[in-house]
Structure 1
Amino acid sequence: MAPGSPSHRRNLSVTDEEPARTGHRRNRSSVDGTKYKDGTWSSKNDKILMGPYDYVHEQPGKDIRRQLIHAFNAWLQVPPASLAIITKVVTMLHTSSLLIDDVEDNSVLRRGIPVAHNIFGTAQTINSANYVYFLALQELQQLKNPAAIDIYVQEMLNLHRGQGMDLFWRDTLTCPTEDEYLEMVGNKTGGLFRLAVKLMQAESTTGKDCVALVNVMGLIFQICDDYLNLSNTVYTENKGFCEDLTEGKFSFPIIHSIRSNPSNHQLINILKQNTKDAEVKRYAVQYMKNTGSFAHTSRVVADLRDQAFALIEKIDATPKINGSGDGQMVRAIVEKIVESTLSDPNAR
């Protein structure tokens, strides 16, 4: 009977096989699974995960949220340690949300440099942004204030609700009404502004309620941003020429222009193309001028500015913290936000 034949294998004794099994036991892996404990992490690995975030964070932005926190603190007088945590959290959330926005909008530039996902890849960029969302929550726990966690959860939900509707309208080519758009902005852009001020109020003992004001400021900020995206040369250098048209985004001036003449489908068809053609974009901008959409946007911004000024005066009328004019810095921020929009010749 030949070795290796079926009959030979059937006649092998236990003793014949034992060396093989014994040898296997001698060569068993020495991996110790118990040493991979929860929380094992290194600064080297952390730097890898933070790469996309750090890339954008290191580029200077408008820094409007840090200025906003400083200005509102004239009213709220948050203890320095708490204020530092809140400022850090808001910065982390804002920067990480930019990473996600750029992926979802298929953007090319951010703050004048290539977007993070074109450097690090989409998957790493999304993971980095999500990682920082939770680092921010971890940072917030240092306040030892249960209300802070509730505020964080609620406003992060609002932010994603607003972003979700914005994406839905874009991807289904559904033009929202002006009211629907403003509601979305209140959730999306207003959410991060509101989060900052609500956290400050949770750590404040002055009793000042600034939420109504910050809601109006969120609307002003987004509508001005929409306007400048279609008209401002500095914006073009930082993000690209009329990027909202390439994204197919229903921004405030675009919504007004489409709805001013629903039977004319030119603008909505331009959005559908996601065009990068500069001449087509210039045509779209001229079309919006002809429908009075820039002038309308400017009037809405001026009206919201006046509402913000009235709310500043109302808050200032409550007991003073630093003497008269506690709201002067907030007023200056509002004026700075609206300046380029209200002074633009296209608005006339």
Structure 2
Amino acid sequence: MEGPEKGNGVPCITVGDGEQDENILQPFTHILQVPGKQFAPKLCHAFNYWLKVPADKLNLVRDIVEMLRTATLLIDDIQDNSVLRRGISAAHTIYGVPRTFNAANYVHFLGLYRVQSLNHPKAIALCTEHILDMYHGQGMEIYWRDNYTCPSMAEYQEAVKRKTGALFSLGIQLMQLFSENKADFTKLSGILGLYYQISNDYRNLCWQEDKCYCEDLTEGKFSFPIIHAITCHPDVRQVICILRQRTHDVELKKYCVTLLEKSGSLSYTRHTLEELDAEARAEVAKHGGNPVLEDILDKMLEWKRCTDENKPVL
């Protein structure tokens, strides 16, 4: 039932009926046309510098994590009413919400099914726990957005830990089931999850791309800079007013970004990212160093490459 890994980080899908599964999975395979950062699978490889897991277990864990992550993106796009994903049309805009939602759920359960192949009594429970965390974190974000309720920084961080950090933690903990290294990487995975999400929040507002500029404002999302502006500078009322509109107006979005810069919220976000980078590197050093993970941290510094003109350098 399982074929070899397709390469380039593309997860191998367990297929029951070949032709039927291909039809069911079209929304999923659509999103794989443009490979993303595949950050979670890369972390699995990086942590294996410490964990020394056999290659077959490592490949399977990476496969499972990437399947769960990509399926979650399909659902995120539906929930956020996104038009684009990675520069191409979001799957649900082509295949419709019912087919896309079904494909995402199908892949989630295929991922859970593949966990059985790890042949460890704790693997299924571990995976289920982290999937629940992902849905919990996403659910809180949607609740805040749809009820126009700005969370506190602590609430935001908790939601990120559950939504974004869950997959990072899952990969590490699944690998540790087959490793002699039982070190506690909870703090490090939490820092990485928060760093990754806040970096995305910052770049979404500061990288001008004609077709998807400031998508978070259109979605009405309470991202890190937005939360800081609303909670620390309540006198800047325009920010929450613009967020409520879920605007597509590029000029209005630019004005909102200007407000965030003037209020110091973008500066605070940059400072926070620098602190998280330093904390992550300190944790890596505590565990004895890891050149593979340090290389990933170096690449994560791309958020610094946003120019004053808000145009992508890459």
* Alignment deviations for residues 103-160 of structure 1 (CA, whole Å, 9 cap, x no partner): 0000011111000000100000000000001100111101111211111011111101
Look up the match of 1:229. Answer: 204
Distance 2:236 2:254 in 1: 17
Distance 1:195 1:334 in 2: 19
* Secondary structure of residue in 2 paired with 1:53: helix
Deviation at 1:329?
Answer: 1.1
For structure 1, which runs of at least 5 residues remain unmatched after alignment?
A: 1-40, 317-324
* Secondary structure of residue in 2 paired with 1:155: helix
User: After the TM superposition, which of the residue ranges 210-219 and 109-118 deviates more from structure 2?
Assistant: 210-219
Distance 2:195 2:146 in 1: 25
Look up the match of 1:270. Answer: 242
2:147 maps to 1:172: yes
Look up the match of 1:204. Answer: 179
Aligned positions, number: 294
> Residue type matched to 1:270 in 2?
I
2:144 maps to 1:182: no
Deviation at 1:341?
Answer: 2.5
2:55 maps to 1:92: no
Deviation at 1:345?
Answer: 5.1
The answer to whether the Cα contact below 8 Å between 2:229 and 2:236 also exists between their aligned partners in 1 is no
> Residue type matched to 2:261 in 1?
K
User: After the TM superposition, which of the residue ranges 67-76 and 121-130 deviates more from structure 2?
Assistant: 67-76
Distance 1:223 1:64 in 2: 14
The answer to whether the Cα contact below 8 Å between 1:76 and 1:208 also exists between their aligned partners in 2 is no
2:267 maps to 1:292: no
2:292 maps to 1:329: yes
Q: How does 1:281-320 map to 2 (within 5 A)?
A: 281-316=253-288
Look up the match of 1:257. Answer: 229
2:109 maps to 1:146: no
Alignment CA distance shift 1:118-1:345 (3 Å) = closer
* Alignment deviations for residues 265-314 of structure 1 (CA, whole Å, 9 cap, x no partner): 21111111110000100100000000011110011111111111111111
Distance 1:163 1:193 in 2: 15
Look up the match of 1:279. Answer: 251
Please report the TM-score for the alignment, with normalisation by the length of structure 1: 0.82
| Cα-Cα RMSD | 1.5
Look up the match of 2:134. Answer: 159
* Secondary structure of residue in 2 paired with 1:175: coil
Q: How does 1:66-77 map to 2 (within 5 A)?
A: 66-77=41-52
Look up the match of 2:31. Answer: 56
Deviation at 1:258?
Answer: 1.4
* Secondary structure of residue in 1 paired with 2:122: helix
Distance 1:211 1:247 in 2: 31
> Residue type matched to 1:92 in 2?
M
2:102 maps to 1:123: no
Look up the match of 1:29. Answer: none
Q: Of the two, which has the highest radius of gyration?
A: 1
The answer to whether the Cα contact below 8 Å between 1:305 and 1:334 also exists between their aligned partners in 2 is yes
Deviation at 1:208?
Answer: 3.0
Taking only the aligned residue pairs, the percentage that are identical comes to 43
Deviation at 1:261?
Answer: 2.1
For structure 2, which runs of at least 5 residues remain unmatched after alignment?
A: 1-15, 309-314
Distance 1:174 1:65 in 2: 30
2:313 maps to 1:341: no
Look up the match of 1:243. Answer: 215
* Alignment deviations for residues 22-79 of structure 1 (CA, whole Å, 9 cap, x no partner): xxxxxxxxxxxxxxxxxxx621111111110011123211122222111110000111
The answer to whether the Cα contact below 8 Å between 1:197 and 1:211 also exists between their aligned partners in 2 is no
Please report the TM-score for the alignment, with normalisation by the length of structure 2: 0.90
Distance 1:92 1:114 in 2: 20
